[in-house]
Structure 1
Amino acid sequence: MSAIKLHLEQAERDAVDRFASSLKVSAEDIAYAALNRLMLACADAEVCRDITETREWRRHNLPLWSDSACSVHAYEGKADEEPTPCRRIEA
């Protein structure tokens, strides 16, 4: 079987793990389901644009669904605080 590596920041991984745990599945199951949904919609121009835009902003930002993504420290140059769970994903 072939493998694709997905590199995540810890805040991203924590949110994925918590979501997977709430569904009683693995993080790999979440990643595969997300890829499946994406590939089923790959003919949509908006989806293609979102992929290229995400590639650009991911270099400097955490996604809204990750832990601490909305932290004031992330965009005001202040010292980091301990990560807090994302409000978008309830455990």
Structure 2
Amino acid sequence: MIASLYHNQKATIRWNNANCEPFNIEKGVRQGCILSPHLFNLYTEQIMRQADIDDMGINIGGRDITNLRYADDTALLSDNLTSMKRILHRVNNAC
């Protein structure tokens, strides 16, 4: 059922009171769709788990915080450049 929502999606761009030819949307989630935030959260949670970065990040109150997520934004956190490079490498590989 979810796949059918995203099958054969098209978009167009309006510029100077004219629309371009419709083109296929191949990535991303539907803007305004009630499922989009949930699908995004499921996807990003899986990436963070696969990246296995829980022991990195910054320590706040005895807990290592590696990322903050809100809506469709993700911030990766580190207290030094070396750790940030490792986090970025692991997240990239998990994608």
Q: TM-score, normalised by structure 1?
A: 0.26
Higher radius of gyration, 1 or 2: 2
**Which structure dedicates a bigger proportion of its chain to strand?**
2
- Which structure would you say has the larger RCO, counting Cα contacts within 8 Å and 6 or more residues apart? 1
State TM-score, norm by structure 2.
0.25
